[in-house]
Amino acid sequence: MSETQSLLQLICVNKAFAAGTTDEVKALDNINLDVNAGDFITIIGSNGAGKTSLLNIIAGVYPPDKGGKIIINNRDITNFIEHKRAQYFGRVYQDPSIGTAAKMTIGENLSLAIARGRSRGLGIATTKRRLTHFREILATLQLGLEDRLNTLVGTLSGGQRQALALVMATISRPSVLLLDEHTAKLDPNTAGIVLTLTENIVSKEKITAIMVTHNMEHALIYGNRLLMMHKGRTIVDLNYQQRRDITVIDLLAAFERASGEQLADDSILLSTSKPSDKN
Amino acid sequence: MDIIGNLLNISLYEGLAYGFVAIGVYITFRVLSFPDLSVDGSFPLGGAVAAVLIINGVNPWLATAAALLSGSIAGLCTALLNTKLRINALLSGILMMVALYSVNLLIMGRANIPLLRQVTVFEQAAGFFKTGPSLSLAIIFIAVLALIILLALNWFLRTEIGLALRATGDNEQMVRGLGGNTDMTTIVGVAISNGLVSLSGALIAQNQGFADVGMGIGMIVMGLASVIIGEGLFRPKGVTAVLLAVFGGTFAYRLFIGIALRLGLPPTNLKLITALLVIAALAIPYMRKKLKGEWVPPAVRM
């Protein structure tokens, strides 16, 4: 991978919380990552492996420790604060209530999302033209949301809200889509629907995506590259070829080889079940 | 009949004039989820600025506009304390409220400035209609002003910035994730809120004929009471309905207070009654849930 090719680069990214105290936690330990345009990377790891910290560092929720760099399209964005970074990154969170605004309508939520990367002015936000546009996009989800643009988002189900959050994260075509265990809080059936939607949107819009998951099977089915994280480091990095004929069992073996310990996280071992908790 | 008519008229005037305070409180508490207590300081600030400018011969319209601006600056300071210095919202407001007490005294030079025999916006409005100042004229004048401000807010809250401002109070994390600058929306919201509160202070001072450094005491609770009553009475849906309901709530609150006073309630007990009213409005939903056996999480401390 040459440098000019990669869309997103993380160079020497470290993150320690409560540094210098007895409670010090090394959330990220010298992460170097090159993401190519068009990649769909799945990231797997147990609780506390640093998956969510990695997405938070990319999205700018907090900065990396001194020396770390985040580069997108050859531009150093390490010092961009979160709302300035948002022009590059769409994000879907684990909890549907974080990705959407409950007391506002579907139309208003989408109007907020479509303004990503542009300066917000004094023009009316929810115009008729935009509503028509939203209706067309929502119709492709086949969830009936297109007829409910004036419905408050708080009255939708978790799955509907997460589908909406997905549309909101991608409607303004960000460079990279960050998915943070976005199906973990949904029932298996709804999770399947949202994952299919995710794959459709990613392939149709040709968005580069990074998907954090607790579920080994999902990590193997989706995407073209797989990263496994452990204690803040990436311990396994499989490209499309390497990944193709690997099973969950192989993945577990790879984990034990790389980390030198047994995987003791039920939610990962039971790869088809719904993980119960967030790290 | 006359007594009732008079009571209704006074309540209508007060409902409109204090309605700006309620709208301000609504913007911070409800829209932004920013419990801003600077209101008790920015209300007399508006009265102080308008009074000092008027007795120094400044055009009363200009003085009223300056009062509105001064309130926005006070709100700006409160929001800066919170967003840039990371001071808790409640404390930012309290700090500003305390600081404004001294600032108001500095502006006024004394605790009370009489405006008798000064030309105020009410006299100018009366002059426009070639009559003397009267209660009905004051009502019409403030109603027009309220209409203008309601239309402006109704438009503003639907703009891209306005939408981001509303979403900031609903889900700040999401707004930042979508590229919205929540520091900016908070600053704009708190500034508009305190500007309206100061405008109210300026109008009340001119109509009652004096500005007093103590005229803002309890203003925040009064504003909250009005908002809660408005929401409870009218159960509004949508931006326009809510704005109207807040004015309606202020009118209802003033009418309630007016009736209580006529029935012999000592004016000194007014703040106590208002506080009890707000306590009841906040506690009743909790008690109701508790009686139904529902679990309610403990109140937020910070």
pLDDT for position B1: 59
CB contact under 8 A, B158 and A126: yes
- Does B172 fall in a domain? yes
Q: Which domain holds residue B210?
A: 2-268
Q: Is the pLDDT of residue A270 over 50?
A: no
CATH number of A6-269: 3.40.50.300
pLDDT for position A277: 40
Query: Which contiguous run of DSSP H or E holds residue A44?
Result: strand A40-45
Cβ atoms of A91 and A59 within 8 Å: the answer is yes
Of A65, A66, A85, A83, nearest in space to A75 by CA = A85
**Predicted confidence band of residue A273 (pLDDT cuts 50, 70, 90):** very low
Enter the DSSP assignment of A12: E
Q: Phi, psi at residue B174, to the nearest 5°?
A: -65, -40
> What does the pLDDT look like over B89-105, one tens digit per residue?
999 999 999 999 999 99
Q: Is the pLDDT of residue A271 over 50?
A: no
Tokens 């100061």 belong to which residue? B198
Top residue of B154, B165, B173, B174 to mutate, by most chain A CBs within 10 Å, is: B174
Top residue of B31, B151, B157, B171 to mutate, by most chain A CBs within 10 Å, is: B171
- Does B289 fall in a domain? no
Query: Domain residue spans in chain A?
Result: 6-269
d(CA B194, CA B37) in angstroms, rounded, equals: 10
- Does B295 fall in a domain? no
> What does the pLDDT look like over B249-264, one tens digit per residue?
999 999 999 999 999 9
Q: Per-residue DSSP letters for B180-243?
A: --HHHHHHHHHHHHHHHHHHHHHHHHHHHTEEETTTTTTHHHHHHHHHHHHHHHH---SHHHHH
Cβ atoms of B21 and B43 within 8 Å: the answer is yes
Which residues, in sequence order, are CB contacts of A17 under 8 Å at separation 6+? A23, A24, A25, A27
Report in angstroms the alpha-carbon separations of B57 from B6, B67, B115: 33, 15, 12
Tokens 């993945």 belong to which residue? A251
Q: Give the HSE-up count for residue A109: Cα atoms under 13 Å, Cβ half-sphere.
A: 35
d(CA A107, CA A110) in angstroms, rounded, equals: 5
CB contact under 8 A, B177 and A100: no
CB contact under 8 A, B161 and A104: no
The better pLDDT of the pair B195, A48 is held by B195
Decide if B2 touches A, using CB distance below 8 A. Answer: no
% of chain A with per-residue pLDDT over 70: 91
Top residue of A58, A87, A112 to mutate, by most chain B CBs within 10 Å, is: A112
pLDDT mean across residues, chain A: 88
Query: Which contiguous run of DSSP H or E holds residue A235?
Result: strand A233-238
pLDDT for position A263: 59
Count: domains in chain B: 1
Task: Give me the CATH number covering residue B118.
Answer: 1.10.3470
d(CA A257, CA A63) in angstroms, rounded, equals: 32
d(CA A107, CA A99) in angstroms, rounded, equals: 14
The residue-averaged pLDDT of B113-132 equals 88
The residue-averaged pLDDT of B53-65 equals 97
Tokens 């639907």 belong to which residue? B158
pLDDT for position A243: 81
d(CA A42, CA A22) in angstroms, rounded, equals: 33
Decide if B242 touches A, using CB distance below 8 A. Answer: no
Q: Which residues pair with A210 in a beta bridge?
A: A41, A178
Decide if B177 touches A, using CB distance below 8 A. Answer: yes
Catalogue the long-range contacts made by A185-191 (C-beta closer than 8 Å, 24 or more residues apart).
A185/A94, A185/A95, A185/A96, A185/A158, A186/A158, A186/A159, A186/A162, A186/A274, A187/A159, A187/A274, A188/A272, A188/A273, A188/A274, A190/A157, A190/A158, A190/A159, A190/A162, A191/A274
Q: Is the pLDDT of residue B45 over 90?
A: yes
Q: Is the pLDDT of residue A275 over 90?
A: no
Of A100, A125, A126, Cβ closest to residue B174: A100
> What does the pLDDT look like over B262-302, one tens digit per residue?
999 999 998 998 999 899 988 988 899 999 998 888 887 76
> What does the pLDDT look like over A226-241, one tens digit per residue?
999 988 999 889 888 8
Which residues, in sequence order, are CB contacts of A192 under 8 Å at separation 6+? none
End-to-end CA distance of chain A: 32
- Does B279 fall in a domain? no
Q: Is the pLDDT of residue B16 over 90?
A: yes
